[in-house]
Amino acid sequence: MNTIQQNLVNVKNRIIQAANKYHRLPEDITLLAVSKTKSCDAIQEAIDAGQYQFGENYLQEGIEKIAYFRHKQDLIWHFIGALQSNKSRLVAEHFDWCHTIDRLKIAQRLNNQRPINKTPLNVLIQINISDEISKSGIAPEELDKLAAEIVLLPNLKLRGLMAIPAPNNELSQQISIFRSMENLFNQLKKQYPNIDTLSMGMTADLDIAIAWGSTLVRIGTAIFGSR
């Protein structure tokens, strides 16, 4: 069985290969290690191998890990799970990023609860690009309105978009969905200067995500193994 260090090397090589294949710069693609349900020892192995950005889905678990590693100033913590409004304070107080903004109420609460001694919280708007009833996120046609409201909130910094495209065995349909996300991202970039992040792609669809403009891939299984 590969070590976490070797797995990271393999994932980074996949990113480089995909970037080269699709005429992207590898350094324009951030690797986010999804560490949900993984131990602090496993995260420490990843840190020792040079990984500094981690994604957590479960708030309490994530906060415990942030506290455990609080002496490491260079770690960046992303909240990538569904966020209920009554839990927003915990994200505002502890995380550096939130990927799952899907309504103004959540954004306003995060803005109001962000401590004044912290830099603005980096946020992404989640798009339900596959129109799945079970998934969070807004419809693409709602993006302009929500983005215009979020950019007015001084303690948030809108950085871009996030999506979890549904698995699709039909390549042409899969491409169409990823291309739609890239188009939305490019439209948003034209409107706002801070937009630089398209969080899209996981272990199974990393390559196609990079082909269609992803700047941040969220990888768990390929780094830490199956849950």
For every one of its 227 residues, what pLDDT tens digit does the chain have, with 9 covering 90 and above? 789 999 999 999 999 999 999 999 999 999 999 999 999 999 999 999 999 999 999 999 999 999 999 999 899 999 999 999 999 999 999 999 999 999 999 999 999 999 999 999 999 999 998 887 777 899 999 999 999 999 999 999 999 999 998 888 888 888 999 999 999 999 999 999 999 999 999 999 999 999 999 999 999 999 998 76
SS (H, E, C) the chain: CCCHHHHHHHHHHHHHHHHHHCCCCHHHCEEEEECCCCCHHHHHHHHHCCCCEEEECCHHHHHHHHHHCCCCCCCEEEECCCCCHHHHHHHHHHCCEEEEECCHHHHHHHHHHCCCCCCCEEEEEEECCCCCCCCCCECHHHHHHHHHHHCCCCCEEEEEEEECCCCCCCHHHHHHHHHHHHHHHHHHHHHCCCCCEEECCCCCCHHHHHHCCCCEEEECHHHHCCC
Model pTM? 0.96
CATH hierarchy code of domain 4-219:
3.20.20.10
